[in-house]
Structure 1
Amino acid sequence: MLFGYARVSSADQNPAHQVDALARAGVGAENIHLDHAGGAKASRPQLDAVLTRLRSGDTLVITRLDRLGRSVLHLITLGAQLRERGIELKVLEQGIDTSTAEGRAMFGMLSVLAELQRELIVANTRDGLAAARARGRKGGRPPKLSDDQIALAQRLYDAGGNTVAQIAAMLNVPRTTVYGHLDTKNTTAQAPAERPTAETPVNTVAEVRLPRTCPTCGYEPSTRAEAAHQRGDLAVAWLHTNVDDQGSVVIQSHCRHCEPEPPAFDVACEVCGDGPILTGIFAEVACRGDLPVAVAQWLVGSGWTVTPSLLCPDNR
């Protein structure tokens, strides 16, 4: 089946040229998705929608490559995801059709340019950092938490009465920020007066009591306070890429002993702030401003609303 995508940079621009071209290519009006969005970081809900609708054997039709990708790297990432899912890409004005050997070769040339662009950016960044260090300047983003906030988060975590998600809510930051500052390897927590209730795992079908033992690495806590921490950690769903099927998601729980290395990306409901954490390739893509297709499909299948707002099943 043919699906079309068109984009104009502002509401004042006329998308008729693109829509007409897609219709002439055989795309039905009900399958044409149109975004009014400009800039690399602008939200593109209709692009997310069409990517969710596409299935193996379908073809995505666009008029020009610059209508689809925010950048060359984003375009290559999308192209790779489409190929992995068995979806073809047809670009009308530039004569690219990935169902043919010639079209795949032309699209492959873009990946070479994208890699060159990435290497140039890395080289320029290293040169800039070296020059800044020579002038006595420190790089990097300013921390989201002050030293006092980090100390408070550590005390709350060590006390055993709050989960990481609760601490993050108190400090108004994502859970991944708190995880990045906590010393979870050398916690000397004391048992709280009352045993806290474990959080419910995201998108579970029925309420279950979380186990003490980590299902991923098998670690079993030795104290009540450590068990309270572990139950809170195991309540968080971590979404990994399936190594056997890049277009699908593997859901795992992790304790402090097997927590994935950075990068991590917190998918948070806009109402309650709860949601899964992405890791690996998923996190890398999300950190660039794009929700991975496989993650979007998993969220929709779990009852989430992805566009225009990210809402969990309880708040949609």
Structure 2
Amino acid sequence: MRTAPGRYLENRGHRPFSRSALDCMRKGDALCVWKLDRLGRSTKDVLMIAEDLHSHGIALRILTGNYFAKGEGKFFFTTMVTFAELERDMVVERTRAGLDAAKAQGRTGGRPTVITEDVLTVAKARGGKGESVTAIAEALGVSRATLYRHIG
């Protein structure tokens, strides 16, 4: 029985697509990824997947770089994987810092709410009179889900 190259991904929390894509690969195939950091979440993951592919005779093609399987190429590949993980971690850190700075300035992300205090007061008053949520939502021009989210 042939062992599929996706065996490393079992119980690793990868998306089902990654696992199924690797399970379909055969000797002589090539796995193409846009950037090295798209192959896995950590240096260990990328290295294990690359080794798994290599042991099954499957080529790895990184569209924004080169991959060499032997000798110095393996060293440079390992180094590039490490830098890709560092770059990813730095992007996450900068994004988190930016979101925290925006929050400290009183800005929040996401779509602006359509429910103002006045609309909420009207909705509660109409609900108190026994009007249905559907009728209130239609009259105020909002969805039922929005009303439920704000009224509780």
Give the TM interval when normalised to the shorter protein. Answer: 0.3 to 0.5
Which structure: greater helix fraction?
2
TM-score between the two structures when normalised by the length of structure 2? 0.42
Question: Whose relative contact order is higher, 1 or 2, with alpha carbons under 8 Å and at least 6 apart?
Answer: 2
Larger Rg: 2
TM-score between the two structures when normalised by the length of structure 1? 0.24
